[in-house]
Amino acid sequence: MMAHEEQSSDKAIQHQSLMDLLDKKKPLKICAPMVRYSKLAFRTLVRRYGCDLTFTPMIMSNSFVRSMKARDNEFTTNKGDRPLIVQFAANNGKDLADAAELIAPYADGVDLNCGCPQRWAMCDGYGAHLIKNPELIRDMVRQTKARVGRADFTTSIKIRIHPDLRDTVDLCQKAETAGVSWIAVHGRTPRERAEPANHDAIKLIKESVGVPVIANGDIRSLEDMQRVCDHTNVDGVMAARGILENPAMFAGYNLTPTHCVQQWLDISLSLGTPFQCFHHHLIYMMEKMVMRADKRVFNVLTSTAAVVDYLEENYGIHPSTEVSIEDTRGSSAPPLDRIM
C-alpha cells in the first residue's frame, strides 16, 4: 500500500474541507513541500505547533504511477495526518491525473510543482519550466479535476514568478479559468536564490485573481507572517526554511523550544524515522541551541542511539516514552539542498 497506516497515539482529526478552512481561517499557516524533509514525522511535529496544513515532499508523478515500490517509498501517512496536500512533479496532464486518482482517498488535494528551479527539472519540463507554458498548466489542472471529481478535493499549483509580472498574472488567471483551487506563490524568479522575496508581486497576483493565494518566501516567524499578510492580503503563508529551523514558529516561538526537540524524539522514534532524516532535522532545529564547538561533535554522530545519548547527557532531553531505538548507521549531514 502506498499509504501506510502507521501506529500512532494521535487521534484521527475531524477536519472540514480545505476550501472551507481557507475561507474561515485566515491566514492559513502552511508547512511547505520540502524535498526529503516534509515527511510524515515532521508533518506530525509541526501540526502540534500551530500548523494548519502540510505538504508532502515533491513526488515524481510518472514513477509514482508506474511503481508500487515508488508509492511505498514516497508516500506514507496515517489517520492524524490531515489536512494533507500531496505535491507532484509532472509535465503532462495524464501523469498528474493518474497520480491524483491514486492518492485521492488518503489526502485532501494535489499540488502541481511549478517552481522547482533545479537544472534537471527544468531540462525535463518539470517545475519552474512549466511557468513558460500556462496552457499546459491549464490542461493539467482540468484533467486532474475531471479525473478525481470530488468537490472537497483541491487541485492547486505552486509557482515562481516571471521577470515580467504580466506573464505571471496571465498564468494565474488562466489557471483560475481552468478551475484551480488556490495558488501558492514563491516570490522569486527561477534564477533567484537568496534575493529577498518579492511580496509586491504576490500582492499584485492576489489582486488579479479570485481564488485564494498563499505567500511563500522569507517567512520565519509570526511577525513575518503578519507583515506579509498586511502587505499582500493573502489567504495564508507557507514556510520552508523557517519552519525547518524552528518547527514551533507558528506557535509563536522565535527559537526551537526544548520541548519541541523532545517531541521530535518521541514522534520520529515511534514512526521508525531513518537515522539520516532524524539527525538532519535535529541539526537544523538545534542550530542556535548548540554551541559552535559542540556542533563539530553533534553533527558527525552516526547512530540514533548516539544522538539520543548526546541529547540526554548535554541538554537533559530524552524520549518521554519507551521506544525502540534502531542503531542505524549514517553519514554526517551535507549542506541543505534547495527547498522548493
Annotated catalytic sites, by residue? 116
Q: Which residues pair with 158 in a beta bridge?
A: 113, 184
Residue 2 is assigned to a ligand binding site: no
Residue 234, marked binder? no
Residue 129 half-sphere exposure toward CB, CA atoms < 13 A:
14
SS3 for 157?
A: strand
| 34 annotated to bind ligand | yes
- Tell me which residue of 18, 49, 56, 9 sits closest to 243, measured CA to CA: 49
180 labeled part of a ligand binding site: no
CA nearest to 274, candidates 310, 337, 318, 328: 328
Give phi and psi for 111, each to the nearest 5: -130, 135
Contact yes or no for 205/168 (Cβ under 8 A):
yes
Distance of CA 269 to the CA centre of its chain: 21
Q: Let me know: does 311 contact 318? Beta carbons within 8 Å.
A: yes
138 marked as part of a ligand binding site: no
Residue found under cell 491566514 = 27
Q: Exposed/middle/buried for 293, CB within 10 Å: 0-12, 13-18, 19+?
A: exposed
Q: Which residues pair with 89 in a beta bridge?
A: 60
Q: Where are the alpha helices (DSSP H) in 246-337?
A: 258-270, 275-285, 292-298, 304-315
241: annotated binding-site residue? Answer: yes
Q: Flag whether 105 is marked binding.
A: no
Which triple of cell numbers denotes residue 290?
A: 548548540
Annotated binding site for FMN: which residue ranges? 33-35, 87, 186, 240-241
Annotated binding site: which residue ranges? 33-35, 87, 186, 240-241
